[in-house]
Amino acid sequence: MKAKVRFLLAIIVLGLLMTGPFVVTSLLVWAGMEETERNMLLELLMSRLPIGTMMTIFGFGIGVAVLHKLFKQYVEGLLGMAEQLRLMLSANRNFRVRLDGPPEVQQLAQAANDLAAQRDMLMDDVDSRIAQANASVEEEKNRLAALMSELAQAVVVCNLDGRILLYNNRARLQFKALSQGPTTVAGGALIGLGRSIFSILEKNQVEHSQEIIRQRLISGKSALANFVTTTRGGQLLRVQMVPVLAAAQEEGERQMTGYVLTVDNITRTLEEEARRDQALHSLTEGSRAALGSIRAAVANLIDYPEMDAELRERFVKVVDDEAARMSQRLDQTMHDFSDSMKTRWPLEDVLAMDIISAAQRRIEDKLKLPTKTEEVDESLWIKADSFSLVFALVFIAERLQDHYQIRDLRFRTVCEGKLAYLDLIWVGQAISSETFYTWEMETMQALGETSSLSLRDVIDRHGGEIWYQREKAAHRAFFRFVLPVAIPEAEIHDERRSTGRPEYYDFDLFKFEDKSIDLDRKLSELTYTVFDTETTGLEPSKGDEIIQIGAARIVNNRLLKQEVFNQIVDPERPLKPESIPIHGITEDMVRGQPNIDIVLPAFHAFCEETVLIAHNAAFDMRFLQLKEDRTGLRFTQPVLDTLLLSAVVHPNQESHKLDVILERLGISIGTRHNALEDAVATGEVFLKLLPLLEEKGIVTVRQALEAAEKTYFARIKY
Amino acid sequence: MSKKILIVDDEPNIVISLEFLMKKEGFEVAVATDGDEALAKVAEFNPDLLLLDVMMPKKSGFEVCEALRADPDRAGLLIVMLTAKGRDTEVAKGLAIGADAYVTKPFSTKELVVKVKDMLGLA
């Protein structure tokens, strides 16, 4: 508008310039004239006035046209260019100024475009550098996570509130084995990102260790603390804590922002130690009394040879009795504690088959000696120092090849109670016991390497034996290694290993402080449990029951597919045949599964301190609520319903069925209609809905709950 | 008048030797086989010295010793503890609660006799 006003002003000025000088001159001339001259002039002018006026109007018209043109090109053109430049500056980086108008304006536009191009190059460069940096940070994180997940030690990283930020696979398996109840139910529920470590470890002990570390940090000692704690299941854990320190600031001590815990289950080690102590005790203290009686009786017999026969008889009997008792005790102790009293060399539990395979590979590759196995028990575990044992096997193979020209070597295992026999069999000439004795005693050499041990040392290290035996009928002979059988600690196989990289870490939780569920927290910051149930039917009030609960966790905007709850429940009533095709759960599958009294507490623990999410949540919640009286468990946390949230975001869509929403939001999920898969799908939907809700100004849990309540679908009640 | 010795031990095989030995050395001997009986016999037999085993049913030697030491009338009673527990901590406990000597099984009978006589002032 301002430009328009200026344009009008310019026209007025033009008009005045064209008429003003003539009018002023005329007035001056007019003023200096006589009456007659004026009349003459009037007469002369009046007749020619129309032409003059026309010429003036014509000239004015041309002037306005020129002015207009200039105005269009320079003023309005530049204004337009300014708008385009603004566009380039903010909304659309790729926009370029159109080149039109007079050459000067075009040059200006070109210069602006060139500047924009230069700016884009710089910005792209910055972006790519940021992306690069992010990628390398991500890569480092992944490398750390991968490294951690392969560690044989259980490692858990927590922030100062005791929230778990990172844990490795070993920790997951170890705590899973520790968790109470049927392991499938607990399903590693205790450990999870954002969960409290205090559900596993005693809070006071952890805090005490934190305090010790702070003290040590202040006094400049190495910051480290150890403690031993008992789990609810009676297992003993040795825990080591080291601090995670904030990046160094200028001066002063570095702040502790969290800690790393390494956890060892020492229950078995400790039990073994206790048994060893007991054995030692029984052999020493236990012998004192008997020996005391014998010694006193013998002393009397010697000191008083003149005693009468009956008395002598009694003293002799004392000696006899006590000596017999001592022998018996010795046998008993050896029998009971033989395992504990053997070598203290740290032996690991290994599959005998693994030892044999390792030895076979080396013998075949390096000695070019064919090998075979016969009657090998694939599930036989032994306690062994596998390196020295394999070395011993290869050593014997090489000796046999060199001295007895054997053509192949066979392996066999036999299990006899607490002992495992590992046999090395060959066909051919018998060896003398002297030869074997030398083999046993000299330091071993195999494949050009020398061991510091002799075969005998290796055997002693295992608390085992070795001998040479012949099978005359078959013209064969064998060396028999006797080794202790191991009972491996319950090995839990990781069934979810294949599903991509595990999400065992979340460093953003370092900032996570508030523990309780605050309704005014942002939706994207909360921890959720998305869950789904399969039921025998649709009418909980008429006795329909839950037959499966599936759930996954959302922490820091990520759906954690590793931290899931998946349990079939025995409904303790027959399934309806018509419902079986829907949930795919058969009578056979529910039989022998825990009932809801066992599963619900585990699920309750799994959802602790999280907001619940379900699709058509009212339905699932109704089933849970009907069990409140029976189990005494109440699910009091806020519940979000993806059906209602979808209706909030897309009020004009007819259907808000899970399948339809999945398609609408472009989420592809494999199979469905299994509680866990549906729960995961619901979680994906929720994460997609979050930005759409934010567009509608729904950011907090409270806002989401309020908006959901207002939708039409919220009025349907179960 | 000969000195009186009460032997308290639940193991007959050691009691038989101790009884024989102490009688041979000219002492008057009585035997108790558990803690309660020991306290009763002390009152009845009024011994000068007790050979007291630690590990016994009902009342342990430690308890008997403590009970006797709590009775001022028995201040002169000598107590020798005999035990199959050889740990330093137990020796320390025995002496701390008032035993006059502590002998660990197995022991030399000769040395025991010498020690007993010495304690009774007969050496």
SS3 sequence, A147-207? HHHHCCCEEEEEECCCEEEEECHHHHHHHHHHCCCCHHHHCCCCCCCCCEHHHCCCHHHHH
At residue B8, the pLDDT reads 94
Of the candidates B17, B83, B86, the beta carbon closest to that of A296 is on B17
Omega within 30 of 0 (cis) for the link into A488: no
Between helix A433-441 and helix A386-404 the angle, nearest 10°, is: 140
With an 8 Å Cβ cutoff, are B104 and A288 in contact?
A: yes
Q: Which residues of chain A make contact with B105, given a CB cutoff of 8 A? A: 288-289, 291-293
- This model of the complex carries an ipTM of 0.84
At residue A338, the pLDDT reads 64
State the burial class of residue A450 (Cβ atoms within 10 Å of its Cβ: 0-12, 13-18, 19+).
exposed
Residue A148 domain-assigned (yes or no):
no
Q: What is the mean pLDDT of chain A?
A: 82
CB B115 within 8 A of CB A303: no
Mutate to test the interface with A, among B9, B10, B14 (most CBs of A within 10 A): B14
Work out the minimum CA distance from A328 to partner chain B, whole angstroms.
17
More confident residue, A662 or B38: B38
The full set of domain ranges for chain B reads: 4-119
Any idea what the CATH number is for the domain that residue A370 is in? 3.30.565.10
Residue A35 has pLDDT above 90, yes or no: no
At residue A249, the pLDDT reads 59
Q: How far apart are the first and last CA of chain A?
A: 63
* Range A52-77 average pLDDT: 86
Residue A512 has pLDDT above 80, yes or no: no
* Range A23-35 average pLDDT: 86
In chain B, helix, strand, coil percent, each to 5? 45, 20, 35
Distances (CA, A) of A157 to A70, A149, A152, A351, A528: 72, 13, 16, 32, 21
Pairing of strands A154-159, A256-265: antiparallel
Q: How many domains does chain A have?
A: 5
Residue A296 domain-assigned (yes or no):
yes
CB A291 within 8 A of CB A326: yes
CB A434 within 8 A of CB A484: no
Distances (CA, A) of B99 to A163, A348, A662, B2, B69: 58, 50, 86, 22, 9
Closest-CA residue to A326 (of A284, A274, A277): A284
SS3 label, residue B7:
strand
At residue A518, the pLDDT reads 78
Residue A28 domain-assigned (yes or no):
yes
Closest-CA residue to A615 (of A660, A556, A654, A579): A660
| Cβ pairs A/B, distance under 8 A | 69
State the burial class of residue B78 (Cβ atoms within 10 Å of its Cβ: 0-12, 13-18, 19+).
middle
Pairing of strands B49-53, B4-8: parallel
Closest-CA residue to A557 (of A508, A603, A520): A508
Q: pLDDT tier at A496 (50, 70, 90 boundaries)?
A: very low
Residue A92 has pLDDT above 80, yes or no: no
Lowest mean pLDDT among A40-44, A669-673, B7-11, B92-96: A669-673
Of the candidates B13, B85, B108, the beta carbon closest to that of A293 is on B13
More confident residue, A266 or A528: A528
Residue A461 has pLDDT above 50, yes or no: yes
CB A377 within 8 A of CB A413: yes
pLDDT per position as a tens digit, A153-209? 889 999 888 888 888 888 887 777 666 544 445 444 467 888 888 878 888 888 888
Contacts of A77 (CB under 8 A, 6+ apart): A100, A101, A102, A105
Q: pLDDT tier at A248 (50, 70, 90 boundaries)?
A: low
Q: Which residues of chain A make contact with B13, given a CB cutoff of 8 A? A: 293, 297, 318, 321-322
Please state the separation of Cα A40 from the chain's center in Å: 111
Q: How many CB atoms sit inside 10 A of residue A645's CB?
A: 27
Domain span at residue A457 reads 348-484
Whole-angstrom distance, CA of residue B103 vs CA of residue B116? 11
At residue A712, the pLDDT reads 62
Q: Which residues of chain B make contact with A307, given a CB cutoff of 8 A? A: 20
Q: Which residue has the tokens 């020209």?
A: A405
- Tell which CATH classification among 3.40.50.620, 3.30.70.20, 3.40.50.2300, 1.25.60.10 matches the domain B4-119: 3.40.50.2300
Mutate to test the interface with B, among A277, A281, A282, A293 (most CBs of B within 10 A): A293
Query: A304 at the B interface (CB within 8 A)?
Result: yes
Residue A221's beta-bridge partner residues? none
CB A383 within 8 A of CB A442: no
CB A663 within 8 A of CB A681: no
Query: A288 at the B interface (CB within 8 A)?
Result: yes
Residue A260's beta-bridge partner residues? A157, A242
Ranges of beta strands (E only) in A575-651 are 611-614, 639-641
Categorise residue A44: left if φ over 0, alpha if ψ from -120 to 50, beta otherwise.
alpha
Residue A97 domain-assigned (yes or no):
no
Lowest mean pLDDT among A241-250, A420-429, A490-499: A490-499
Contacts of A340 (CB under 8 A, 6+ apart): A272, A275, A276, A279
Say if residue A358 is in the same domain as residue A295.
no
Mutate to test the interface with B, among A294, A300, A319 (most CBs of B within 10 A): A300
Closest-CA residue to A97 (of A589, A83, A156): A83
Whole-angstrom distance, CA of residue A210 vs CA of residue A195? 18
Residue A442 has pLDDT above 50, yes or no: yes
Mutate to test the interface with A, among B105, B107, B115, B116 (most CBs of A within 10 A): B105
Q: Kindly give the residue spans of alpha helices, DSSP state H, lying in A607-714.
A: 617-625, 628-631, 642-649, 658-664, 675-695, 701-710
At residue A168, the pLDDT reads 84
With an 8 Å Cβ cutoff, are B107 and A292 in contact?
A: yes
With an 8 Å Cβ cutoff, are A303 and B110 in contact?
A: yes
Whole-angstrom distance, CA of residue A318 vs CA of residue B109? 15
Longest dimension (CA), chain A: 195
At residue A411, the pLDDT reads 93
Residue A87 domain-assigned (yes or no):
yes
Q: Which two tokens stand for residue A191?
A: 């450990």
State which of A280, A304, A336 marks the end of a domain. A336
At residue A1, the pLDDT reads 59
State which of A211, A232, A266 marks the end of a domain. A266
Any idea what the CATH number is for the domain that residue A167 is in? 3.30.450.20
State which of A235, A266, A297 marks the end of a domain. A266
Of the candidates A284, A286, A318, the beta carbon closest to that of B17 is on A318
Residue A615's identity, in one-letter code, is H
Say if residue A295 is in the same domain as residue A274.
yes
Whole-angstrom distance, CA of residue B80 vs CA of residue B68? 13
SS3 label, residue A669:
coil
CB A596 within 8 A of CB A632: no
Work out the minimum CA distance from B56 to partner chain A, whole angstroms.
12
pLDDT per position as a tens digit, B33-88? 998 999 999 999 999 999 999 888 888 888 888 889 888 888 889 999 988 876 77
DSSP letters spanning A691-702? HHHHHTT--BHH
Whole-angstrom distance, CA of residue A359 vs CA of residue B82? 59
Q: pLDDT tier at A342 (50, 70, 90 boundaries)?
A: low
Q: Which residues of chain A make contact with B11, given a CB cutoff of 8 A? A: 289, 293
For residue A228, report the phi and psi dihedrals to the nearest 5 degrees. Answer: -115, 135
CB A192 within 8 A of CB A203: no
Say if residue A569 is in the same domain as residue A593.
yes
Residue B20's identity, in one-letter code, is F
Of the candidates B16, B18, B106, the beta carbon closest to that of A288 is on B106
pLDDT per position as a tens digit, B14-31? 999 999 999 999 999 999
Residue A491 has pLDDT above 50, yes or no: no
At residue A516, the pLDDT reads 62
Residue A631 domain-assigned (yes or no):
yes
E strand or H helix that includes residue A365: helix A352-367
Count how many residues are written for chain A: 718
Residue A343 domain-assigned (yes or no):
no
Say if residue A213 is in the same domain as residue A276.
no
DSSP state letter for A71 = I
Distances (CA, A) of A633 to A286, A540, A547, A622: 54, 17, 18, 13
Residue A322 has pLDDT above 70, yes or no: yes
Q: Which residues of chain A make contact with B108, given a CB cutoff of 8 A? A: 295, 299
Contacts 24+ apart (CB under 8 A), A330-334: A330/A283, A333/A279, A333/A282, A333/A283, A333/A286
Q: Which residues of chain A make contact with B21, given a CB cutoff of 8 A? A: 296, 299-300
At residue A182, the pLDDT reads 46
At residue B77, the pLDDT reads 92
Distances (CA, A) of A454 to A393, A439, A447, A480, A638: 12, 8, 15, 16, 69
pLDDT per position as a tens digit, B82-122? 888 767 777 777 888 888 998 888 888 889 999 999 999 88
* Range A122-127 average pLDDT: 91
Q: Which residues of chain B make contact with A299, given a CB cutoff of 8 A? A: 17, 21, 108-110
At residue A397, the pLDDT reads 92
Q: Which two tokens stand for residue A399?
A: 């000796």
Residue A305 domain-assigned (yes or no):
yes
Residue A217 has pLDDT above 90, yes or no: no
Work out the minimum CA distance from A340 to partner chain B, whole angstroms.
23
Say if residue A464 is in the same domain as residue A353.
yes
CB B18 within 8 A of CB B51: yes
In chain A, helix, strand, coil percent, each to 5? 55, 20, 30
CB A643 within 8 A of CB A718: no
Say if residue A572 is in the same domain as residue A709.
yes
